[in-house]
Homo-oligomer: A and B are copies of this chain.
Amino acid sequence: MSIHSPQRATILEVAREAGASKTSVSRYFGGERERLSRELQGRIESAAQRLGYRPNQMARGLKGGRSRLIGMLVADIRNPFSVAVMHGVEQACRERGYSLLVCNTDNDPAQEREHLALLTSYRVEGLVINAAGSPDRELQALVEQGMPLVMLDRELGEVEAEVVGLDNARALDLALDHLQVQGYGELLYLSEPPEQASPRQARLMRFHQGVAARGLAGEAHCQALKDRETLQRAIGDFLARPGTAPRALLCANGNATLAATRALQTLGARLGDTGLLGIDELDWCALVGPGITTLAQPTEAIGRAAVECLMRRRECGDHTTPSRRVHFQASLIPRGSTRR
């Protein structure tokens, strides 16, 4: 009859209604049903039914410390790649009886810190982190306290935390090979600023290495993508530069691909004549002009793998196990944007 918060039945009321003890009811809902006599089971079942009883997870989490919650920090929830990975994480969690508490940080370090604190205050039993910034100190502290932690596509200092993500080196090799075979000789790499230890650095580095190894000309433009003018000028300059070799753009992620496509369209460049290859497969890549060639990441698998790592950590309990790296391979989806 309370007005403010819906008053659910408690275990005690069910016990009374069923003529049993709260211990028995607790057993019934805690997965120890077999220990109860058929008859008692029946009484509890129907009593619970009548009262619309559901165990209070808050109280549960309190006593045994098992909140059955996994926390996830997402850098940008509006990025389809992140969402796809999150989907995999959620599925895997659910299969194992966990729920997922997701926090979006909008790429803001302050929010990262804040949300991390929030998640730990709900006593999540594991953490999947996909953050651009670096609440490194906080994360280190958590790991040392024994919190199972998985980094998505990003390393964390020298801390013992699992890393799950794309094999960035191989992915870039794949991209560069394709562009070379298709005859593009001068490349412009587009990325958001590769601050800190993000995979952006790995990709950028491999780009420079790979370009050199293949005897191609390559340069990188690493600026925030929001500023369309700057980007457009950079691409315009690149295309207008003297030289005869066909030119191509290589985009470090979905956002970059989107920005590049916009810029090329504004500049009136024809896809294919100007090559375009993006990392991350998006819904619409097949639809623009002759189609945009992409490097697809196995997003669901990455998400699932993250949860698996978490569970392994939990089980063997032991945070001295050497941390592992799980690398997935990208697959090339060739389309018209890299066909001349």
Q: List chain A positions with a Cβ less than 8 A from chain B.
A: 2-8, 52, 54-59, 61-62, 65-67, 77-78, 80, 83-84, 86-87, 90, 99-104, 117-118, 120-123, 125, 141-142, 145-147, 258, 261-262, 265, 282-284, 286-288, 314, 317-319
Contacts and interface: CB of A to CB of B under 8 A. Distances in A.
Given A6-B142, A7-B145, A78-B87, 7 more contacts: A4-B146, A5-B146, A6-B147, A57-B123, A77-B86, A80-B80, A99-B118
Contact of A83 (B6, B77, B146, B282): B77
A286 B262 contact: yes
B120 A104 contact: no
Most B-side CB within 10 Å, residue of A55, A99, A117: A99
Most B-side CB within 10 Å, residue of A262, A287, A288: A287
Contacts of A84: 78
A121 to B, nearest CB: 5
Contact of A284 (B90, B147, B288): B288
A80 to B, nearest CB: 7
B8 A145 contact: yes
B80 A3 contact: no
A287 B265 contact: yes
Contacts of A86: 77
A6 B283 CA distance: 41
B80 A78 contact: yes
A277 B284 CA distance: 16
In order of increasing CB-CB distance, the 8 nearest A-B pairs are A284-B284, A6-B145, A58-B61, A5-B65, A3-B317, A6-B147, A57-B121, A6-B146
Contacts of A282: 284
A67 B101 CA distance: 14
Given A56-B123, A67-B58, A80-B78, A146 B261 contact: no
B262 A287 contact: yes
A191 B99 CA distance: 32
Contacts of A66: 5
Given A78-B80, A286-B262, A288-B288, A121 B55 contact: yes
A14 to B, nearest CB: 14
A157 to B, nearest CB: 18
A132 B319 CA distance: 43
Contact of A62 (B2, B58, B283): B58
B52 A56 contact: no
A80 B318 CA distance: 40
B287 A4 contact: no
Contacts of A56: 62, 121, 123
Contacts of A125: 5
A276 B262 CA distance: 20
A137 to B, nearest CB: 11
Contacts of A54: 117, 120-121
A65 B178 CA distance: 59
